[in-house]
Amino acid sequence: MSISLRLAQPADVPLIFKFIQGLAEYERLADSVVATESLLAETLFSDRPYAEVIIAEWAGAPAGFALFFHNYSTFLARPGIYLEDLFVDPAHRGRGIGKALLVRLAQLAVERNCGRLEWSVLDWNEPAIGFYRSLGAIAMDEWTINRVTGEALQQLAASGGYPD
């Protein structure tokens, strides 16, 4: 059996959505998913895509995905790749699919002259943390992620924020 990787196409939207739902269940966040196939199609495959997706297949069957986008480091003055989601279907775990996806992302980062590849992992996900460390990843424990979303985002946007 073998792993194959390919960039997702618009016809893959239902599969991507299925993988997102599987990831959300694994991360105990299924109630947080408000994505729809329509929104995914719009944001991934419109004239201005906001992210890219690599689909992993095992013996021709869908096995996992990596969803990523470019960010930018001012200190490096170079782009980076941010891995938003990595998911391997439970039936296909332990076959090297997660590593293959990360290797491909690292290759893309090098090909695209990126200064880094980074991602977040839930602090309770010890299997993933151990796996990432085995690949040379370093936890950035001194950094705290901040997020403004939902009503707080709407309020911040509406506040003006400009001094008179």
Structure confidence by residue, pLDDT tens digits, 58-116? 999 999 999 999 999 999 999 999 999 999 999 999 999 999 999 999 999 999 999 99
d(CA 23, CA 20): 5
d(CA 104, CA 42): 25
Instruction: List for the chain the helix, strand, coil content (%; round to 5).
Output: 40, 25, 35
Overall domain count for the chain = 1
In a domain, 144, yes or no: yes
In a domain, 111, yes or no: yes
pLDDT in the model for residue 160 = 80
Structure confidence by residue, pLDDT tens digits, 127-163? 999 999 999 999 999 999 999 999 999 999 999 866 6
Q: Quick one: which of 52, 64, 56 has its CA closest to 114?
A: 52
Q: Which residues are catalytic?
A: 132
- Domain span at 124: 3-158
In a domain, 163, yes or no: no
Structure confidence by residue, pLDDT tens digits, 106-125? 999 999 999 999 999 989 98
In a domain, 62, yes or no: yes
- Give the CATH number for residue 69: 3.40.630.30
Give residue for tokens 């039936």: 91
pLDDT of residue 164 exceeding 70: no
Q: Give the number of other CB atoms < 10 A from CB of residue 159.
A: 8
